Amino acid sequence: MPDQLIFAIEVFLNGLMAGVLYALVALGFVLIYKASGIFNYAQGVLALFAALTLVGIMEGQVPFSHLINAVFGTEIHNFGFHVPALLAIALTMVVMVVLAWLVNTLIFRHLVNQEPIILFMATIGLAYFLEGFGDIMWGADIKKLDVGLPQGINGFIDQITLDALGYGFFIDNLDLVATAVAALLVTALVIFAQYTRQGRAMRAVADDHQAALSVGISLNFIWVMVWSLAGFVALVAGIMWGTKSGVQFSLSLIALKALPVLMLGGFTSIPGAIVGGLIIGVGEKMFEFLIGPLVGGATENWFAYVLALLFLVFRPQGLFGEKIIERV
């Protein structure tokens, strides 16, 4: 096999893996959008906040230590113990549920029946607040996150491709884990939404708030549940991204990459988020590989957005989005 082709396949596979991570963030958007019609700009920051909290708990960091030290002149930073990863993940999830409850009680409960743009603005506010809050709570330095996920080149794939093709593919173990987790997460979410009582209620709320109220569904409960689910997805995404590239504030920017993913997959489709993520991931890498050299590179910065723009023109509901049902 020619080297170029083999290299292209490797780029393709790596694109798939990168796409999985985009898809994880996009999933959180879809959940909240489906159930409440809110486009949650803060989803990326939610992932960042989850990752920060996870690291903080694992390291036994004292929350607000800078603030405390500045006010009281103390010098405390750590409790001096380490929390095992699984326990820390569970505790972080508790924090995310409390956050979901707070977000709903303090913000969105008061905005029922408001224009989508108002809800959107509220999430922008939430995003910046959370970013600042995370900073004050856990500090702004880049942190290393290690919850014990395997990392580095997968020796098995490297070896068999080396034997078969004479060239070892570089596939990161972490990407494989992320793929498995994403597949599991999507399956679980689809089953939840389609076949459980609460899942059905969630979809009912998404369709018609008033009608859902009229049959006795509690909107507040459903919304807290959905924000908690989104918090959980954010936590998973935060763990993956954090392990890959460290927990840093640029993590919140990956949320922007989820936007084209959503336009491709459709804002309302859980599988769409995954497929959209994969297409963006692969498209980005392949475009950079094939066309990049001709135009001077750096196409990864804009490729996804141009693709999304094309979709907006020709298929606004995305690949898998719900058709807009309108009776005349």
Partner 1 sequence: MLDTQGTNDTLLEVNNIEVIYNHVILVLKGVSLSVPKGGITALLGGNGAGKTTTLKAISNLLRSERGEVTKGSIIYRGKRVQDLMPSELVRTGVVQVMEGRHCFEHLTVEENLLTGAYTRSESKAAIAADLELVYSYFPRLKERRRSQAGYTSGGEQQMVAIGRALMSRPETILLDEPSMGLAPQLVEQIFQIVKSLNEKEGYTFLLAEQNTNVALRFAHYGYILENGRVVMDGPAAELRENPDVKEFYLGVSEEGRKSFRDVRSYRRRKRWLS
User: Where on the chain is the footprint of partner 1 (CB under 8 A)?
Assistant: 112-113, 197, 200-201, 203-204, 206-218, 322, 325, 327
Q: Residue 32 Cβ, how far from partner 1 at the closest point, in Å?
A: 16
Nearer to partner 1, 106 or 211 (CB): 211
Residue whose tokens read 């607000």: 64
Within 13 Å and on the Cβ side, how many CA atoms surround 12?
Answer: 6
Listed residue (207, 321, 184, 221) closest to 262, CA to CA: 321
Nearer to partner 1, 113 or 294 (CB): 113
Question: Is the Cβ–Cβ distance between 89 and 147 less than 8 Å?
Answer: yes
Alpha carbon distance 55, 145 (integer Å): 6
Alpha carbon distance 166, 160 (integer Å): 9
131 alpha carbon, distance to own chain's centre: 15
Nearer to partner 1, 117 or 215 (CB): 215
Q: Residue 126 Cβ, how far from partner 1 at the closest point, in Å?
A: 22
Nearer to partner 1, 73 or 214 (CB): 214
Q: Residue 320 Cβ, how far from partner 1 at the closest point, in Å?
A: 13
Q: Residue 223 Cβ, how far from partner 1 at the closest point, in Å?
A: 13
Q: Residue 203 Cβ, how far from partner 1 at the closest point, in Å?
A: 6
**Measured CA angle at 253 (ends 244, 112), to 5 deg:** 120
Nearer to partner 1, 75 or 115 (CB): 115
Nearer to partner 1, 146 or 208 (CB): 208
Q: Residue 221 Cβ, how far from partner 1 at the closest point, in Å?
A: 9
Q: What is the three-class DSSP state of 319?
A: coil
Nearer to partner 1, 86 or 213 (CB): 213
Alpha carbon distance 110, 311 (integer Å): 34
Number of H helices, E strands in the chain: 14, 0
Nearer to partner 1, 226 or 304 (CB): 226
Alpha carbon distance 267, 258 (integer Å): 11
Q: Residue 219 Cβ, how far from partner 1 at the closest point, in Å?
A: 8
Q: Residue 211 Cβ, how far from partner 1 at the closest point, in Å?
A: 4
Element (H, E) at 117: helix 116-138
Question: Is the Cβ–Cβ distance between 131 and 250 less than 8 Å?
Answer: no
Question: Is the Cβ–Cβ distance between 24 and 233 less than 8 Å?
Answer: yes
Q: What is the three-class DSSP state of 47?
A: helix
Within 13 Å and on the Cβ side, how many CA atoms surround 33?
Answer: 23
Question: Is the Cβ–Cβ distance between 230 and 236 less than 8 Å?
Answer: no
Q: Residue 205 Cβ, how far from partner 1 at the closest point, in Å?
A: 9
Nearer to partner 1, 191 or 309 (CB): 191
> Which residues, other chains included, contact 37 with Cβ-Cβ below 8 Å and sequence gap of 6+?
116, 119, 206
